[in-house]
Structure 1
Amino acid sequence: MKIKNVSKNLILYLFILHFLLVNIVHSNGLFDQLFKIQHTTNIDVRLIGFDSLEQDELKILLNKLNKDYSPTILYPKLQTIDLIKQNHKFNITEGSHNLNEEIKASVKKYISEFQHRSTLKQDEYLVPFDIVDNIIAQDYKQQNHISYVVYIINTIYDREDSIEKYTYSQLNSTTINTLHRDGINVVDHLCNVKLWQSKSESPNNPNNSNDGSGRYVWIDIGAETCTYGPQTKGTGLISNQQLPHTNSRFTKKLYDISTFFYHTIRQLISPPIYEIPEKYGWIDLEIQLIMIHDHLVGQLEVSEQFDWESIKEQLGEKMPLLPNQRITFSKREVSLLNNLYAAQIKQSSLKTHHSVLKGTQQFLDSKELHHWFKVHIQKFIPSYLDDSSKTIIPIFLFDISYKELLLLDRYYQAVSFPDMVIGIQTQSGLMKIDYQCDKQLGINPMDATKPILQSLLMTIWGVGSNSLVVNENSKQIENNFIWNIGYNPSNMFTNLKDLSFSQTDSAIRNYLYFDIISSIDSLKSIMDHIGDDETWEEFTHSIDNPSVRSIDSFFKSINSTITQINSNLQLHQYSKAYDRINQLSDLAMNISSVIHKIHSSKHSYLECEKSTFLLSEFISISFTTIIVIYFLYKVLRKSLF
């Protein structure tokens, strides 16, 4: 009996002790519980040619994907942003009968009229992607979507049809017909696919005509696809068996569609953040191209293929900016023949690698180049350090005329650094790479446009390749190339240079996330400090803000602003979200100034890196501990004796 009484009393007093300890840390945990950003992304799913049973089962599977998770930052060390939670809300609808019939009729008509076949797979007809994309884009514009839209096309064939295999080319119909008319058969030069993503809309003209822009993707599960990805080693290879297909059994088909959605969400709609840019927070940005030729400046070079105008269009017109941001572009040209610094930097970075398979190969060490360009930066950009209000991101692009292959670090045409981008292009022939589209691929070393564009996205906005994913089990960074097709600058499987919605949305979203973290962390530190150092009554009497007169009003002010931010992010209202985030920043700054004022005679956390020792707190905690120990002793003594 005594043992039971001892147990009961121990439990009671341990509970009291736990309650006291919880109250000590309550203020620290309360903020985290109440003020997390909940970024909900709406995804409309349009099922074309599916029956009601498939729709119901697919709805169940997709709803299981709707889990909260924190955004991931890949580098320099894998980490999550725990103050922000992302989730995805699916709205599954049936595509109209007219939409289904129009797609089927258009694809069948093209196959019947032109009968273009894949040169690698003679049993497959080749259809330009825009035959379907034009129809999908028109439907997307008519619906006036604020969500991302995923179109799932079941099949173009009716039961009575004679079924033929077909696939989609990443070349449009005009290009394919022109090439065939000229007797050039390069239809297999790019990967043939069964899925597509829209290119990014221009913020200045979001309601443009049917030009294939928007926030939509589509997949024709009745079509075939090539095997694309690494050829000899590496993760992320995509084959026809890994993607949903009409011929699969009922359960496998639906599970494959669900898996396709999982990868689409994690790689295209809400991809991880590559890194937090060093130049984050810029207002006035100048992207300056410095072309370093191995011939005299001004000498006509008909073989140069670098598309500077395309980069200016994609980043200057397509990239959404915050209300106070602007981007300008400039270009300078220098020659290795008369610029001593450029010549020495190149020469000091030139290395040689020897292997049994490839023999002796020269390359430029990108880290060496980066070091010396930083040392001599003002020799190339005299105003680099003059104007603190302007951020300059230089692109140092070597344009080499000779025919020998020369790359950065043996493999790359461009490399991203926190403060610059370095690239190279040469006049050597098609360079074979360790990637495939049913056969080994090659890239054009004379044109570094796409690698430079992708590197700029990484340096300025922290947007990486869509192929980079985090393995949920091993927590390792891996590749999955399912969406490295179409409009994607990191895509080696096509020569398209347009950005998709994935890159532009990621860029603005990353910056808003960084601002949110900064603002909420500041407010949390302030709240913890006030709760530790003095009562809320003393603090609120000192602040000149009629809306903040109690801890409740302080919470309500923050919570109301966060609710509005959540809504703005959900509706892609990035400028409005930015204004709300600034309200949090202003609140943090105002409260910080008050703390400085009323703590002018105290040891404030804002003025010292070490924590303040408060005698009153020490006495209070010590007294509470002694009382608890005394009562425990009395109870134990009475129970036992």
Structure 2
Amino acid sequence: MNSYTSRFLFDNYTLIVSEYLDSKHMHRTLTESGDELRRVAGIHEEEEFARVLPVYVFDLDVNTPLLLDRYHQSVAFKDMVIAVRTRGTQAVSDYTCNGRHVFVHTRDLERPLVGSILQSMWGVSSTHLTWSPRHNSTLVDYTWSVGQTPFGPFSDISSLSFVQKDAAKRNVILTSLNTTISSAIDVIDSAVAYGGEAVLVKQHRHSEFMQRWNLLKYKMEKSVSALSHNDFEMALYYLRSASHDLYSMHSVVYLASQEVEASLDCFKDPPFPWGAVSVSGVGLVALSYVYAKRDRLFKSKRKQF
């Protein structure tokens, strides 16, 4: 547990010493004890198309308010959500609105939990985080973090705006689209590893593979088109339909690979290079003759000098 000192202006300046919890340390501890916690809670292994997101809520029997990392009632991680509350009903935050300090209702965890689950499960970014190309990073800007948003201290409404709803649906489509493309690349790599189109043609499976491939491309294009029109249900429909074509392509490549037979091609030794050896031999004899007769051949040259 850590502590910090804040300076607030009420009737006069007041120093308040507050304590807070380190969410990263708690996350590390909970991760190390994850298997035991799942066993006690009766949570079984995740299924292929299901995901279990643990939400740890610490309801502490203390009167002083406690927050996570000084500012948050709930913090989202990619594999869990951590929230904390105490018997205290409210705490003073470092934010002001219209010249007045903003109070956090520490007993109410509905809004922060909704926001954290949106972040962990659907990758919805907080409304007070904006992207800055100049800084190449995210910046904190609470200008639009008001109204229908579960993020930030400047709203008491837990309902979602259409922006957050669309972002959650869009992220599901984009994740499925990325998985489908990655699986299609794996299928092509597998086919190339066994000889590519030649193997499929030899096994009379090339036409079936190309039919499924063209159907997959068509459904992917239709899914992207539906996504661009915010028709998320139709986009998801085409993606799920494309998974059947992808499975059939996997089956075609697998069956073709089972019929591949290993063969050993023997080759004859190349003929002896008599021509090159003969030329080399003649050249060697000529050099030997010149070397042996060098005195007679160069005698006239030495007399001149």
**Fold shared per TM-score above 0.5:** yes
Question: Which deviations, in whole Å up to 9, do the C-alpha atoms of 1:113-153 show, x marking residues without a partner?
Answer: xxxxxxxxxxxxxxxxxxxxxxxxxxxxxxxxxxxxxxxxx
Q: 1:392 to 1:356 in 2, by over 3 A?
A: closer
Q: Which of the numbers 445, 466, 469 marks the counterpart of 2:106?
A: 445
Q: Following superposition of structure 1 onto structure 2, how do residues 371-520 of structure 1 map, counting pairs within 5 Å?
A: 371-372=29-30, 374=34, 376-378=36-38, 380-381=40-41, 383-385=42-44, 388=47, 391-400=51-60, 402-428=62-88, 430-439=90-99, 440-520=101-181
Q: Which has the higher helix share?
A: 2
Query: Does the 8 Å contact 1:486/1:496 carry over to 2?
Result: yes
Query: Does the 8 Å contact 2:212/2:249 carry over to 1?
Result: no
Q: Following superposition of structure 1 onto structure 2, how do residues 339-354 of structure 1 map, counting pairs within 5 Å?
A: 351-354=1-4
Q: Look up the equivalent residue of 1:384 and give its one-letter code.
A: I
Pairwise CA distance, 1:455: 0.6
Tell me the SS of whatever aligns to 2:182: helix
Query: Does the 8 Å contact 1:547/1:557 carry over to 2?
Result: no
Q: Look up the equivalent residue of 1:362 and give its one-letter code.
A: E
Q: Which of the numbers 597, 614, 618 marks the counterpart of 2:255?
A: 597
Pairwise CA distance, 1:593: 2.7
Q: Which of the numbers 550, 561, 567 marks the counterpart of 2:219?
A: 561
Tell me the SS of whatever aligns to 1:392: coil
Question: Which deviations, in whole Å up to 9, do the C-alpha atoms of 1:68-106 show, x marking residues without a partner?
Answer: xxxxxxxxxxxxxxxxxxxxxxxxxxxxxxxxxxxxxxx
The RMSD of aligned alpha carbons is: 3.3
> In 1, Cα distance between the equivalents of 2:4 and 2:93?
18
Query: Does the 8 Å contact 1:489/1:498 carry over to 2?
Result: yes
Q: TM-score, normalised by structure 2?
A: 0.69
Q: Following superposition of structure 1 onto structure 2, how do residues 48-67 of structure 1 map, counting pairs within 5 Å?
A: none
> In 1, Cα distance between the equivalents of 2:153 and 2:70?
17
Q: Look up the equivalent residue of 1:476 and give its one-letter code.
A: S
Q: TM-score, normalised by structure 1?
A: 0.35
Tell me the SS of whatever aligns to 1:493: coil
Question: Which deviations, in whole Å up to 9, do the C-alpha atoms of 1:43-80 show, x marking residues without a partner?
Answer: xxxxxxxxxxxxxxxxxxxxxxxxxxxxxxxxxxxxxx
Structure showing greater Rg: 2
Query: Are positions 1:578 and 2:236 aligned together?
Result: yes
Q: Which of the numbers 14, 19, 35 marks the counterpart of 1:362?
A: 19
Q: 1:480 to 1:410 in 2, by over 3 A?
A: closer
Pairwise CA distance, 1:489: 0.4
Task: Answer with 356-365 or 567-576: which moved more.
Answer: 356-365
Query: Does the 8 Å contact 1:466/1:484 carry over to 2?
Result: yes
Query: Does the 8 Å contact 2:213/2:249 carry over to 1?
Result: no
Question: Which deviations, in whole Å up to 9, do the C-alpha atoms of 1:332-359 show, x marking residues without a partner?
Answer: xxxxxxxxxxxxxxxxxxx133558666
Tell me the SS of whatever aligns to 1:393: coil
> In 2, Cα distance between the equivalents of 1:600 and 1:507?
42
> In 2, Cα distance between the equivalents of 1:379 and 1:515?
30
Q: 1:433 to 1:465 in 2, by over 3 A?
A: same
Q: Look up the equivalent residue of 2:247 and give its one-letter code.
A: M
Q: 1:511 to 1:496 in 2, by over 3 A?
A: same
Q: 1:453 to 1:517 in 2, by over 3 A?
A: same
Q: 1:588 to 1:542 in 2, by over 3 A?
A: farther
Query: Does the 8 Å contact 2:86/2:106 carry over to 1?
Result: yes
Identity among equivalent positions (%) equals 22
> In 2, Cα distance between the equivalents of 1:386 and 1:470?
37
The count of aligned residue pairs is 250
Query: Does the 8 Å contact 1:461/1:510 carry over to 2?
Result: yes
Q: 1:498 to 1:592 in 2, by over 3 A?
A: same
Match of 1:321 in 2: none
Question: Which deviations, in whole Å up to 9, do the C-alpha atoms of 1:465-508 show, x marking residues without a partner?
Answer: 02222222332121233331111100321211111112221112
Structure 2 unaligned runs (5+)? 8-14, 262-305
Q: 1:587 to 1:362 in 2, by over 3 A?
A: same
Question: Which deviations, in whole Å up to 9, do the C-alpha atoms of 1:548-583 show, x marking residues without a partner?
Answer: 44xxx5664333212211232234332332232123
> In 2, Cα distance between the equivalents of 1:500 and 1:414?
20
> In 1, Cα distance between the equivalents of 2:63 and 2:204?
70
